[in-house]
Amino acid sequence: MPKKIMVIDDEPYIARVIKFKLEQEGYTVFSANDGLTGLEKIKQERPDLVLLDVMMPGLTGYEVCQKIKADPQLSSIPVVILTAKGQERDREQGLSVGASDYITKPFSPNRLLELVRNMVGENT
């Protein structure tokens, strides 16, 4: 049973590049381009990990993370914040709303893969 990863990023190409890389490695990847759609898909699919952009129109990444962590059925899903600002503030705010880790854009797909493997384990 492949591990399920959810990617939420308002930039479709970023979601696609992540999806491409992780699918190459055998993960099942779902993506959404806004927070609300993302939350719906998380409820349906119950992924093993959520990769979440911070600066999005509508619900921000922090708000999405807070909602995941507030829902008892979803709160155990680890969340990794994708931040573009490269600021300490982003990381701290992400961790304060319950994110497990963060990765700074632009990131290397290999570095992301490494992080995903650490969080959910390798697909066998």
Partner 1 sequence: MLSWLWLLAIPFLAGIFLASQTLVLKIAGAGGMLLLFGWGAWLYFSLSRKQKQAEQDLEELARLKDEGERQKNQTQELARQRERVEESRRELERRLQEIQTAWESLPAGMLLISRPDGRVLSMNSEAERISGYRSAEVVGRSWEQALAAPQNLPGNNHRAQAVKDRDLAEMEQDKITLRDGTELEVNSRIWNLPGGRQTGWMFQPKNQAMDYNKLREEFITNISHELRTPLTVIKGYAEILYEDAKSAGHEQADLMKVIVDEGDRLAGLLDSIINFRQASSGMLGLRQEKVDIISLLNTVIHDLEPKAAKKSVKIQKKLPATLAPSRGDFNALRFAFSNILDNAVKFNIQGGSVTVETGGWRLEDGMWKMQVHISDTGSGIAPEVMPHIFEKFYRTDQKVHTIQGTGIGLSLTKEILETHGGNISVESAAGKGTKVTVSLLMSE
Provide the β-strand partners of residue 1.
none
Rounded CA-CA distance 80/50 in Å is 6
Q: Which residue in 73, 75, 87, 118 binds partner 1 (CB under 8 A)?
A: 87
> What's the one-letter identity of residue 48?
D
Tell me how far, at minimum, the Cβ of 90 lies from partner 1, in Å: 11
Rounded CA-CA distance 92/10 in Å is 22
Our finding on whether 20 is near partner 1 (CB under 8 A) is yes
Rounded CA-CA distance 111/108 in Å is 5
Residue 94 near residue 62, CB atoms below 8 Å: yes
Q: Which residue in 26, 43, 58, 86 binds partner 1 (CB under 8 A)?
A: 86
Measured from the CB atom, is 55 or 74 closer to partner 1?
Answer: 55
DSSP H stretches of helix in 25-57: 35-45
Measured from the CB atom, is 26 or 73 closer to partner 1?
Answer: 26
Our finding on whether 109 is near partner 1 (CB under 8 A) is yes
Candidate segments 33-41, 60-68, 70-78, 100-108, binder of partner 1 by CB under 8 A: 100-108
Our finding on whether 114 is near partner 1 (CB under 8 A) is no
Q: Cis bond leading into 106, ω under 30°? A: yes
Candidate segments 59-67, 72-80, 93-101, 104-112, binder of partner 1 by CB under 8 A: 104-112
